[in-house]
Amino acid sequence: MTRDLDTTRAASPGATAATIGATNTGSGAATEPTAATPAAGPALARRRGLRRLSAVAMVAGPGLVAANAGNDAAGIATYAGAGSQFTYGTLFFMVLVTIALVMVQEMAVRLGAHTGKGLGALIREQFSLRLTALAVFCLLLANTGLVVSEFAGIGAAFELLGVPKWAVIPPAAILLWSLVLFGSYRWAERIFLVMSLAFFAYPLAMILGHPHWGQVGRHLVVPHFEPSKDFVLLAVALIGTTVSPYMQFYAAAGVVDRGAKPEDYKLIRADAVLGAVFACVISLTIIIATAAAIGGSGPLQSAAQAAEALKPVAGQGAELLFAFGLIGASALAGAVVPLSASYAVGEAAGVERSVSRSFRDAPLFLGLFTAQIALGALVALTPVDVIQLLIGTQVLQGLISPIVLVYLLVLTNRRSVLGAAANGPRYRIAVTTVVVGVAAMSTILLVQTILGWIGLG
């Protein structure tokens, strides 16, 4: 139970890493063909080929499942908001975000595989106490915002079914907290994952929605930017929900917690890249499907409006299908996100971190987990615009992302940390460009916001 609950998303790559180690050991024990047994050559080659295919399947599968789990309430609201407000205008930007996510996740798993340490522990070792505290604060702030969005998503989903959020969110918070602490979340997790598969209807909805494919193709390859605050706000939200600070901590920890070795790196990298690309492909289909359904109607006003994109698939049952997926994805992340933050903070602080411990043995770890659940549920109960709350939490993620990415960049640049696996000159330039680009978008948004406060925006 202890290791199964490090993070739900981390469990997938972690379990993969363990499997990889077993696969490598097995293949290493294979007998080489000799001249005396020429017939064994083709059979041995087939067995090796099957082992390689099996290894690839094992590493790709969990990454894809984890990517789907990442399309939670706030993510769906942000992507759908991009489609409803700017139709296809954010597609090229999302292509850039996809490239950024691939590079960032690759660096995170490389750190875990080659150092055997999570990002929190490496920050504690390589940076001063103040800089470590800054990283921990940013992670907690970002993750608490995510937890709020997950419970807001649960409330919004049940409101689509006619159940008020005040009657659902408190029991949901208690249920998720209990499932994690008392050892049964690993079973509930499977149910939530199956429910979240409802969002796989978006690619089909995109096709059946008959978007303007010429415009889609053009916006995928031609840069488009609008200097308006609304566009920049949504662009930062897209960064925040896709390249979330939480993901970097999760990726490294997921590799470490399952005992991955440097020789497993190639398959671990494949998992990270496949998961990142798949997640962003789903995100693009959400934007396109929503643009085809309600594009140009302005910002999303409700979850019911966001469900409109699924009508080509589900007809009058679109709201039910959307609610079903929203409940699953939100419940999945509602427990995983605060748990992962508690692990990362516990790692950075060097204290006991295990759900199998009592509050007396692991007060910081379990206290942080409980506080995030309670605060997230409490804020989600407030009478605020749910859609704006969901997108707003992703804007917060986007503002914090460049800070966390700087830590990641510095660590992967240091040969004292990674040795020969450190970033090469070209990769260093590419990743620095990504970090500077993310930081620039966040800075533009902050400047626009401050100018608005003083009446100059």
Q: Which residues contact 348 (CB under 8 A, 6 or more apart)?
A: 120, 121, 123, 124, 132, 135, 136
Question: Above 70 in pLDDT, residue 409?
Answer: yes
Sign, CA dihedral 156-160-166-170, equals: negative
Residue 31 lies in a domain: no
The count of structural domains within the chain is 1
pLDDT of the residue at 355: 66
pLDDT of the residue at 408: 93
In which residue are the tokens 């007060």 written? 363
Nearest-angstrom CA–CA distance, 362 and 358: 6
pLDDT 10s digits, 331-387: 878 877 887 788 778 877 777 766 667 777 788 888 888 999 999 999 889 887 777
Q: Which residues contact 189 (CB under 8 A, 6 or more apart)?
A: 8, 332
Residue of 430, 378, 331 whose CA lies nearest to 106: 430
pLDDT 10s digits, 71-118: 777 888 899 999 999 999 999 999 999 999 899 989 998 998 899 888
For residue 24, the tally of other CB atoms under 10 A from its CB is 16
pLDDT of the residue at 41: 55
The residue ranking higher by pLDDT, 214 or 245, is: 214
Nearest-angstrom CA–CA distance, 348 and 334: 22
Structure tokens at 326: 């929203």
Q: Return mean pLDDT, the chain.
A: 79
Nearest-angstrom CA–CA distance, 395 and 237: 4
Question: Above 80 in pLDDT, residue 411?
Answer: yes
In which residue are the tokens 């696996």 written? 421
Question: Above 50 in pLDDT, residue 7?
Answer: no
* Lowest-confidence segment of 58-62, 334-338, 451-455 by average pLDDT: 58-62
pLDDT of the residue at 75: 86
Q: What is the largest CA-CA distance in the chain?
A: 87
Question: Above 60 in pLDDT, residue 4?
Answer: no
Question: Above 80 in pLDDT, residue 30?
Answer: no
Q: Which residues contact 198 (CB under 8 A, 6 or more apart)?
A: 321, 322, 324, 325, 328
pLDDT of the residue at 42: 56
Q: Which helix (H) or strand (E) holds 208?
A: helix 201-208
Residue 202 lies in a domain: yes
pLDDT 10s digits, 143-180: 888 888 889 889 988 988 889 989 999 999 998 888 87
Residue 449 lies in a domain: yes
Structure tokens at 456: 């100059």
pLDDT 10s digits, 413-430: 999 999 999 999 999 999
The pLDDT confidence band at residue 29, using thresholds 50, 70 and 90, is very low
Q: 360 — phi, psi (to 5°)?
A: -70, -35
CA distances to 38, 59, 323 from 45, rounded to whole Å, are 12, 21, 49
Residue 401 lies in a domain: yes
- For residue 403, the domain's CATH number is 1.20.1740.10
pLDDT of the residue at 45: 56
The residue ranking higher by pLDDT, 32 or 298, is: 298
The pLDDT confidence band at residue 233, using thresholds 50, 70 and 90, is confident
Residue 89 lies in a domain: yes
Q: Which residues contact 230 (CB under 8 A, 6 or more apart)?
A: 85, 299
pLDDT of the residue at 16: 36
Residue 38 lies in a domain: no
pLDDT of the residue at 456: 58
Sign, CA dihedral 372-148-97-69, equals: positive
Residue 41 lies in a domain: no
The residue ranking higher by pLDDT, 358 or 262, is: 262
Question: Domain range spanning residue 240?
Answer: 3-24+49-453
The pLDDT confidence band at residue 275, using thresholds 50, 70 and 90, is confident
pTM score, whole prediction: 0.80
* Lowest-confidence segment of 58-72, 249-263, 390-404, 433-447 by average pLDDT: 58-72
The residue ranking higher by pLDDT, 444 or 457, is: 444
Nearest-angstrom CA–CA distance, 297 and 138: 35
Q: 72 — phi, psi (to 5°)?
A: -90, -165
Nearest-angstrom CA–CA distance, 75 and 73: 5
Q: String of b and e for 309-347 (b: at least 16 CB within 10 Å)?
A: bbbbbbeeebbebbbbbbbbbbbbbbbbbbbbbbbbbbb
The pLDDT confidence band at residue 69, using thresholds 50, 70 and 90, is low
Q: Residue 108: what residue type?
A: A
Residue 33 lies in a domain: no
